Amino acid sequence: MNAISAVITHRELLWNLAARELKLRYRGSALGFLWSVLIPLFMALIYVIFLRILGGRGVPLADIIIGVFAWQYTVQCVNAGLSSITGSANLVKKVAFPRIILPLSATLANTITYAMSLIVQFPLVAILFHTTGQHFNPWIALLPIVMVVHIMFNLALALFLAGINVIIRDAQHLVGILLSAWFFVSPVMYNMDFVIAHVGDHPWAPKLFLLNPLTVIINAYRSVITADVPFQWELASYVSLALIGAFFAFSYWLFKRLQKDFADLL
Amino acid sequence: MSTPAIEVENLGKSYRLRGIAKSSLRDILVHGWKKQQTEAFWALRDVSFTVPRGSSVGVVGPNGSGKSSLLGLIAGTITPTTGTVKTHGTISSLLELGAGFHPDLSGRENVFLNAAILGIPREDIARRMDHIIEFSGLRDFIDMPVKSYSSGMYVRLGFAVAVEMNPEILLVDEVLAVGDLAFQMKCLDRIRDFQKRGKTILLVTHDLTTVEQFCDDVKLIHQGHLVAQGDPSDVILTYLKTYMARIGHLNVEEHGTREVEFADVRLLDENGKEATTFTTGRTMDIEIHYRAKQPMDQVVFGFSIKTGNGFFIYGTNTQIMNVPVPTLSGDGVVRLKIEPLSLMEGKYFLSLAIHSWDHTVHYHRREDWYPFAVKSESPAHGIFQLPCKWQIN
């Protein structure tokens, strides 16, 4: 609770740091914010082509676009969170303010970018739906709820990694490897239909996929956006959602515990 | 009267040596989590004091004595290992000039960012923007990225923002060491201004003159312990005498063949009492107890005096002054009387030497070994009192 009040009293700092992050990201580049949309778009195109060649099975481009945008958002939060304390050593050592502001502002900046990229994503998805005859789901009204869960998960990752990276500097290298592994076990460039079609002989395999919180989040995005894409309302999904809550609580606790030593270790 | 501004009780800060060296995954795999907390280095230990509201306190001590840790603990950036720090009132420090400045952002953008870091409301800064730009003297550069600034410009902009804070407790750490003379003057003016408004100030610096000018109380810290506190002149002198000379902050050295050596040296005032503070225009008596290990002929005694910052003022010896020195053997006393002492207020260092007639053999030299202070009863300035007279027609 006191963290919330501390954040409220320091909200100006939070905004300023997030604004700095955003300003710096696009400063001096001609395309600026467009890159935040172009990169996941190009990635989506690459995945769709390769999947067709390698997998021999098509996945709707709209699904891949939704998946890649969501994945990019998480990756950005992981990377920004990882360096949020170590990259601000100067600040942490010299000024007393709630440390949680740093991973929080890093997450906030990426959330703003993500929200803006969604504005570009929807017309694209609409065009794709038009060509394939798909429709938007009226449940798209629930999109903010999916986003809240996603934001919470990303913030938990940022808090966890921000603290851990101060104590163990190996974290930043490990995270790079883990991210590539995570990418392949998450339905970013494929969807659940693809999984079921490939490992359908083992009924437990899709459930294993669902234990990955990011799978559930991406599935939820696709379900609320696209008509007739069902959400897997089953135990594994609930467990995954519970995991997000537990991970958030744990990350917050860990960060609070580690933060008193930050100034000493930087 | 009211509650003190700062209360420090049994304050201690230890650093795990392994922790400082940053643990790696390998360490954890090899040693486990527990094993790591073995060696501790106490940067600060059992420090207790209170700072009354409205007072100005100086913190002095050799490098690495724990001064900055103390300030960090009071500022709240570092967590104490033992004990507590209680502060009453808003606290700000001038130790973060330009902290959080980002090289790629313009001066103006950094002002807003820096203000947010220091907790100054945005409206206040927006309203005072012109004043800040004026104060920093960077009008032509304010919209350029700060990476193109010189380090002096950087600090000036940081300072211009920092002075917009209105804390009840101000922590100052070596700010005065950066920037040119004009900037230092501005800093000092600002600190004086704070004093006038009854704010509490904690000042960490190596500039002892500043400490003496500004503070009502000085804390001397050595190896993490609070070893002396109280009246600035007394504490500063204790500091100079006990630590500076030994630790080699100054160019202190002792060498010689020791065929004749200093057994004891006493600095006496006009009353014949051993002293460390002398008065301009009075007497300074230096009593040199020597010991000659064998009978020595044609020995020369010399002395010189330097200012606290190493400026050579005067030096002479028995040879130059044609003072006959008999053959020395065993123990004896040589007296050097400086009368009147024409040094003005300040800190000085006395060097003594015993050497051979042709300067080829140094029996015993003690460079800058004896610090002393001079107080002046006149408001005249300078380091040396020149005999002078006015004649008005």
Is residue B35 domain-shared with residue B126, that is, in the same domain?
A: no
> Is residue B380 one of the residues assigned to a domain?
no
Would you tell me how many other CB atoms lie within 10 Å of the CB of residue A120? 17
Nearest-CA distance A156 → chain B (Å): 22
Query: Could you tell me the pLDDT band of residue A179, with boundaries at 50, 70 and 90?
Result: very high
Is residue B234 domain-shared with residue B199, that is, in the same domain?
A: yes
**pLDDT score for B247:** 47
CB–CB of B77 and A92 under 8 A? Answer: yes
DSSP state of B241: I
Residue B106, beta-bridge partner list = B145
Is residue B18 domain-shared with residue B77, that is, in the same domain?
A: yes
Instruction: Report the CATH number that the domain containing residue B161 is assigned in CATH.
Output: 1.10.8
ipTM of the complex: 0.75
Instruction: Report the CATH number that the domain containing residue B345 is assigned in CATH.
Output: 2.70.50.60
Block residue for tokens 């902050």: B249
Query: Could you tell me the pLDDT band of residue B249, with boundaries at 50, 70 and 90?
Result: very low
CB–CB of B20 and A265 under 8 A? Answer: yes
Burial of residue B34, with CB atoms counted within 10 A of its CB: 0-12 exposed, 13-18 middle, 19 or more buried? exposed
Is residue B2 domain-shared with residue B21, that is, in the same domain?
A: yes
Question: Of the ranges A57-61, A103-107, B274-278, which one carries the lowest mean pLDDT score?
Answer: A57-61
The mean pLDDT of chain B is 83
Q: What's phi and psi for B352, nearest 5 deg?
A: -125, 150
pLDDT (tens digit per residue) in B362-384: 899 888 788 888 888 888 888 88
Chain B: residue whose CA lies nearest to A258: B79
Is residue B315 domain-shared with residue B224, that is, in the same domain?
A: no
Kindly state the helix (H) or strand (E) to which residue B191 belongs, with its residue range: helix B181-196
Angle between helices A213-225 and A143-167 (to 10 degrees): 160
pLDDT at B168 over 70: yes
Q: Contact A188/A46 with Cβ under 8 angstroms?
A: no
**Could you tell me the two tokens for A76?**
């950005």
Evaluate the CA torsion angle A264, B37, A80, B148 in order and state its sign: positive
pLDDT at A33 over 90: no
Is residue B79 domain-shared with residue B205, that is, in the same domain?
A: yes
Map out the domains of chain A as residue ranges.
Answer: 2-265
**pLDDT score for A229:** 85
pLDDT (tens digit per residue) in A53-88: 776 667 888 899 999 999 999 999 999 999 999 988
Give the C-alpha separation, B6 to B40, whole Å: 27
Rg (CA), chain B: 26
Residues of A in contact with B77 (CB under 8 A): 92-96, 263
Chain B: residue whose CA lies nearest to A102: B117
Give the C-alpha separation, A149 to B89, whole Å: 40
Query: Could you tell me the pLDDT band of residue B152, with boundaries at 50, 70 and 90?
Result: confident
pLDDT (tens digit per residue) in B100-150: 788 888 888 888 888 888 778 888 888 888 888 888 888 899 999 888 888
Closest Cβ–Cβ partner in B22, B117, B122 for A91: B117
pLDDT (tens digit per residue) in B285-323: 999 999 999 999 899 999 999 887 678 899 999 999 999
Question: Of the ranges A113-127, B235-249, B256-270, B340-354, which one carries the lowest mean pLDDT score?
Answer: B235-249
Pairing of strands B91-93, B260-268: unpaired
CB–CB of A170 and B24 under 8 A? Answer: yes
Instruction: Report the CATH number that the domain containing residue B215 is assigned in CATH.
Output: 3.40.50.300
Is residue B236 domain-shared with residue B282, that is, in the same domain?
A: no
The domain boundary, picked from B202, B223, B249, lies at B249
Residues of B in contact with A13 (CB under 8 A): 116-117, 119
The number of distinct structural domains making up chain B is: 3
The residue-averaged pLDDT of B34-55 equals 80
Residues of A in contact with B26 (CB under 8 A): 170
CB–CB of A91 and B99 under 8 A? Answer: yes
Q: Whole domain around residue B234: which residue ranges?
A: 1-90+193-249
Residues of B in contact with A91 (CB under 8 A): 96, 99-100, 117
Nearest-CA distance A24 → chain B (Å): 7
Residues of B in contact with A260 (CB under 8 A): 79
Alpha helices in chain A (DSSP H): 2-9, 11-26, 34-54, 61-82, 89-94, 101-132, 143-167, 171-185, 192-199, 205-210, 213-225, 235-259, 262-265
Closest Cβ–Cβ partner in B15, B77, B79 for A94: B77
> Is residue B355 one of the residues assigned to a domain?
yes
**pLDDT score for B248:** 46
Highest average pLDDT, of A244-248, B33-37, B180-184, comes from A244-248
**pLDDT score for B275:** 83
Chain B: residue whose CA lies nearest to A22: B105
CB–CB of B119 and A10 under 8 A? Answer: yes
Residue B373, beta-bridge partner list = B277, B347
DSSP string, B13-27: EEEEHHHHT---HHH
**Which of B172, B170, B140 is closest to B153 using CA atoms?**
B140
Is residue B261 domain-shared with residue B357, that is, in the same domain?
A: yes
The residue-averaged pLDDT of A178-182 equals 95
Chain A: residue whose CA lies nearest to B99: A91
Is residue B239 domain-shared with residue B279, that is, in the same domain?
A: no
pLDDT at A256 over 60: yes
> Is residue B393 one of the residues assigned to a domain?
no
Chain B: residue whose CA lies nearest to A11: B116
Residues of B in contact with A90 (CB under 8 A): 99-100
Question: Of the ranges A133-142, B171-180, B340-349, which one carries the lowest mean pLDDT score?
Answer: B171-180
Residues of A in contact with B78 (CB under 8 A): 263-264
Distances (CA, A) of A241 to A71, A210, B193, B351, B356: 17, 10, 58, 77, 90
Chain B: residue whose CA lies nearest to A26: B104
A residues 156..215 contacting B (CB < 8 A): 167-170, 174
Whether the CB of A27 is below 8 Å from some CB of chain B: the reply is yes
Give the C-alpha separation, B90 to A186, whole Å: 49
**pLDDT score for B287:** 93
Is residue B351 domain-shared with residue B305, that is, in the same domain?
A: yes
